[in-house]
Amino acid sequence: MPISTLFLGSIGKDVELLQQALFEKNFYAGLIDGAFGAVTEQAVIAFQHSADLKPDGVAGPITLRALGLLGDDAAADPHPDPAADPITRLSVDLVSQMCPGAPLQHIRAHLPNINRALIAQGLRSPPMVLMAIATIHVESGQFKPIPEGISRFNTDLPDGAPFGKYNGRKDLGNTEPGDGPRFRGRGFVQLTGRANYQRYGTLLAPPIALVDAPERALDSAIAADLLALFLKANISRIKAVLANDTMAPPDKLAALRRIVNGGLHGFDEFSRSWAKGAGLMGLSLADSLKAAALQPA
């Protein structure tokens, strides 16, 4: 199978082959780790300059052929089917289109952690990738882990104690004074409540006592793992929604949004982000919401 076009944010075995080829030609001195980051991009640009190619940092068919990674007789497709393995197509450009308004530097900084975490949990299929990115778009707005802000949903405005509505919430496991603000939402998925900090902290590898240091949920790598772990923990609910053929696409999207949010806050943005990503992956909205699209997750 020919190597697909590779670019900033791409990951996988093809990226390893690219890095190895660049290393052998003395253009790359980084790790052969299968993650197309800034160092790999600069190496591609340097090679393209040397070969009198367009220095755009994208390893397309012409660049791959010049590196000896694509034979003249290979069926090079500059626009391969991204739905075949969407996690490898989760590029900075695709994410920026799914998350309008998010600074590119945030996407470049945090997307590698998101890719790694999703792969670690086996969440490679279109619905899981789309749900992850659309969720980050709605929950953070800036494609970075953030703490929850004060709003009417968590505070009795205008004069109530910040996050006072979370205090004493048994459904969140908030049993101690001050648990509301201490365990307010954080990260890419807005992890909220003592019980969730306890549960998901123990699922991290290695486990972290997030109840003792809840602010660590804002660390990019940890926040990415928490997002992936949350989605994996809810995979049966997600599958049930996708398998319900009596539901129209908007109803499925609403049900998926409720799994994360408990309600429909941010639903319109979530829906637009999902639909945009599905289109970029070469899928119709309806096909991206079918149970069959979960393969191989």
The Cα 37–Cα 275 span in angstroms is 27
pLDDT, mean over the chain: 90
Domain boundary among 169, 185, 218: 218
The pTM is what?
A: 0.73
Same domain, 163 and 137: no
Does a structural domain hold residue 14? no
Q: What average pLDDT score do residues 131-156 get?
A: 95
Q: Is a pLDDT exceeding 50 seen at residue 80?
A: no
Residues 255 and 290 in one domain: yes
Q: What is the arithmetic mean of pLDDT over 98-121? A: 91
Say what the pLDDT of residue 53 is: 86
Q: Tell me the average pLDDT across 54-69.
A: 89
Q: Is 154 contained in some domain?
A: yes
What distance in Å separates the CA atoms of residue 139 and residue 28, rounded to the nearest whole number? 37
For residue 179, what are the domain limits? Answer: 147-218
Q: What pLDDT was estimated at residue 268?
A: 97
Q: Residue 116: inside a domain, yes or no?
A: no
- Tell me which of 86-90, 118-122, 203-207 is least confident: 86-90
Q: Is 289 helix (H, G, I), strand (E, B) or coil?
A: coil
pLDDT at 81: 44
pLDDT band at residue 73 under the 50/70/90 scheme: very low
Q: Are residues 168 and 290 in the same domain?
A: no
pLDDT computed for residue 85 by the predictor: 63
Q: What percent of the chain has pLDDT over 70?
A: 92
Q: Are residues 254 and 156 in the same domain?
A: no
Confidence of residue 79 (pLDDT cuts 50, 70, 90): very low
- Give domain status of residue 11, yes or no: no
| Banded model confidence at residue 88, pLDDT cuts 50, 70, 90 | low
For 22-49, what is each residue's pLDDT tens digit? Answer: 999 999 998 998 898 999 999 999 999 9
Sign of the alpha-carbon dihedral angle for 109, 115, 116, 118: positive
Q: DSSP string covering 123-160, please?
A: --SHHHHHHHHHHHHHHHSSSS-EEPPP-TTTS-TTTS
Q: What is the pLDDT of residue 17?
A: 93
pLDDT in tens, 158-173: 999 999 999 999 999 9
Whether the pLDDT of residue 78 is over 80: the answer is no
Say if 52 falls within a structural domain: no
Phi-psi group of 190: left, alpha or beta (phi > 0 → left; psi -120 to 50 → alpha; rest → beta):
left
Query: With 70 as the cut, is the pLDDT of residue 83 above it?
Result: no
Q: Are 91 and 10 in contact (CB under 8 A)?
A: yes
- What's the rounded Cα separation, in Å, for the pair 114 and 206? 17
**Tally of domains in the chain:** 2
- Tell me, yes or no, whether 70 lies in a domain: no
The confidence score (pLDDT) of residue 90 equals: 75
What are the phi and psi torsion angles at 35 (to 5°)?
-115, 115
